[in-house]
Amino acid sequence: MSGTRKLHIKSFGCQMNVYDSLRMADTLAPHGFVETAAAEEADLVILNTCHIREKAAEKVYSELGRIRKLKEAAAREGREVRIAVAGCVAQAEGEEIIRRAPAVDVVVGPQSYHRLPGLVARAARERVVDTELSADKFDVLTPPSRDKTRARGVAAFVTVQEGCDKFCTFCVVPYTRGVELSRPVERIVAEIERLADAGVREITLIGQNVNAYHGEGPDGRPWTLGELIRRVSRVPGIARLRYTTSHPRDMDATLIAAHRDLACLMPYLHLPLQSGSDRILAAMNRRHTRGEYLDVITRMRDARPDVALSSDFIVGFPGESEEDFQASLEMIDLVGYAGAFSFKYSPRPGTPAAAMEQVAEEVKAERLQRLQRAIDRHQAKFNAACHGRTFDVLFEKPGKRPGQLVGRSPYLQPVQVMAPAALIGQVVPVTITEVGTNSLFGALAAAPAEHTEAQRDPAPVARHDSSANRARRSGAAKPAERNDIVVAGA
Ligand code: SAM
Ligand code: SF4
């Protein structure tokens, strides 16, 4: 191991990248790399990239232009800076990245992060590209130290599966992340036990198609996500569980039963629909109809009446007519989403939809605006309905104002409350007194006490979180992504 070097990681895109960035930092730590939030003082800069839409991929090249200047400035002072490109752009474009951006030293695909220390060492002599797709990186990635986990806060992501076999015609994921691979139950449980031991209270199980999970259980048989969640709910200290992103076809009976039985499984489901038109859903190869999607929601609401939904929509998929688009607007009204992400269709090289007849850019832009207005309307309604209700809030960190804490409602809304710092890491009932644009404001509803949804329901019995039940018929904020969780050094 050489002396201490500084590492800056910038993460683009989804939660999987946020998780991977942390694991890359953990893997480099024993090799003397200490994270920094300032790119200009780093000896190694890693851009963990996203290839899902053209805009996301192009952002990387503009960021590389900025980092190249830092590298040149450092060289003038006699300091060497290495640049690594990781993530899905690395996987998709490989050597092409070095041709387009010669300042890049290392290109590393998502399944090769365990080899990062060796690749960085080799970069002293040559440019390195490693986009091997086959390895199971999870077994060999270094876990974070207890102190590091503590510093990262009370909510954490845990990747349970990676890759996807669905091949939706618009999507690059099956090409960049490879075939679906699920981690064994016991390894996931061990990781969560370590996190809980360091003070983590909320776990979000993540995967590109998380409910396709079928990892090996302790009995040697493949377990479903519902079974995994049931097992994880018994880890001492874990108060809340979430999972994302799900495919409507994989919402099986075990998962719905887990929502029915486990108070610690939050009543907030991100279930991408993409389009409300059966014709477009078929062209997207989504393998379900709008009717089947609505059936899933009915089953979810029967099992967990206080559930709120969020979604992803694509506008302007090839061949989308005004009538197809209207069907998406109709579904937004029918489901009454608490929030949703929406995107203009972006042709991705090598995917089937890229070769189909495209919708004009201005039509996409106009539809996106209309769709976002519909989503915003429902989201505002959902948030407004939270006023006066009492939710359990998991306090995560100090707020902007002195004496204030920020936590999350069951629906992932940020909630700002005047409360003592000792409540960080605790789940406490809060009455919502004001609804802002991006957060809710509230007041402690009872004397502070260790009071968790998990503890109220330690065994998997059919009972719901009481305060969430009080919040029935109410709503949530933007489909809050956990991209706001701090990636040290990012
Ligand atoms: N696995 C999830 C599912 O089945 O819905 C989606 C994961 S994908 C990483 C996140 C979102 O990006 C998708 O739900 C979709 O709305 C959007 N997306 C993916 N490919 C896209 C494309 N080519 N153009 C526009 N949006 C896209
Ligand atoms: Fe992409 Fe999700 Fe479809 Fe898989 S299921 S191909 S990740 S959109």
CA separation, residue 377 to residues 298, 338, 415 (Å): 22, 10, 20
Quote the ligand 2 centre to 171 CA distance (angstroms): 6
- Index of the ligand 2 atom closest to the CA of residue 286: 3
Q: Which ligand is nearest to the CA of 347?
A: 1
Q: Which ligand is nearest to the CA of 348?
A: 1
Residue among 123, 43, 35 at smallest CA distance from 79: 43
C-alpha–C-alpha distance, residues 153 and 366, integer Å: 40
Q: Peptide bond before 245: cis, by omega within 30 degrees of 0?
A: yes
Q: What is the pLDDT of residues 213-254, one digit of tens each?
A: 999 999 999 999 999 999 999 999 999 999 999 999 999 999
Quote the ligand 2 centre to 252 CA distance (angstroms): 17
Residue among 155, 220, 221, 225 at smallest CA distance from 192: 155
Give Cβ neighbours of residue 339 (< 8 Å, ≥ 6 apart): 310, 375, 378, 379, 382, 476, 477, 478, 479, 480
C-alpha–C-alpha distance, residues 360 and 316, integer Å: 8
Tell me the whole-structure pTM to 2 decimals: 0.89
In the 8-state DSSP scheme, what is residue 348?
Answer: -
Q: What is the pLDDT of residues 466-486, one digit of tens each?
A: 333 333 223 333 344 433 222
- Index of the ligand 1 atom closest to the CA of residue 347: 23
- Index of the ligand 2 atom closest to the CA of residue 212: 5
The pLDDT of residue 438 is 84
- Index of the ligand 2 atom closest to the CA of residue 165: 4
Q: Where are the alpha helices (DSSP H) in 309-434?
A: 322-335, 361-384
C-alpha–C-alpha distance, residues 180 and 53, integer Å: 21
Low-confidence ranges of the chain (pLDDT < 50): 1, 447-452, 454-490
Quote the ligand 1 centre to 186 CA distance (angstroms): 30
Quote the ligand 2 centre to 212 CA distance (angstroms): 11
The pLDDT of residue 476 is 32
C-alpha–C-alpha distance, residues 447 and 253, integer Å: 38
- DSSP-assigned beta bridge partners for residue 268: 308
Residue with tokens 């953990």, as numbered in its chain: 26
Q: Where are the alpha helices (DSSP H) in 212-321?
A: 225-232, 253-261, 278-283, 290-303
CA geometry: angle at 9 spanning 129 and 439, to 5°? 135
106-108 and 128-130 beta bridge pairing: parallel
- The terminus-to-terminus CA distance of the chain in angstroms comes to 24
The pLDDT of residue 22 is 94
> Within 6 Å (CB) of ligand 1, which residues are found?
14, 52-53, 170-171, 173, 208-209, 245, 247, 272, 274, 312, 314, 343, 345-346, 348
CA separation, residue 145 to residues 138, 183, 191, 424 (Å): 16, 21, 12, 20
C-alpha–C-alpha distance, residues 257 and 268, integer Å: 15
Contact 277, 328 (CB under 8 A): yes
The pLDDT of residue 194 is 96
C-alpha–C-alpha distance, residues 218 and 239, integer Å: 23
Give Cβ neighbours of residue 212 (< 8 Å, ≥ 6 apart): 161, 164, 165, 166, 180, 182, 247, 250
Q: Which residues of 34-54 are buried (b: 16+ CB within 10 A; e: fewer)?
A: ebbeebeebbbbbbbbbbbbe
C-alpha–C-alpha distance, residues 142 and 116, integer Å: 11
Residue nearest to atom 12 of ligand 1 (CA): 52
Residue among 158, 124, 149 at smallest CA distance from 232: 158
Quote the ligand 2 centre to 246 CA distance (angstroms): 9
Q: What is the pLDDT of residues 100-159, one digit of tens each?
A: 999 999 999 998 999 999 999 999 999 999 998 765 677 778 888 898 899 899 999 999
C-alpha–C-alpha distance, residues 301 and 41, integer Å: 51
C-alpha–C-alpha distance, residues 204 and 192, integer Å: 10
Q: Which residues of 107-119 are buried (b: 16+ CB within 10 A; e: fewer)?
A: bbbbbbbbbbbeb
**Total H helices, total E strands in the chain:** 16, 19
What is residue 215's three-state secondary structure?
Answer: coil
The pLDDT of residue 460 is 30
Quote the ligand 1 centre to 52 CA distance (angstroms): 7
C-alpha–C-alpha distance, residues 216 and 228, integer Å: 10
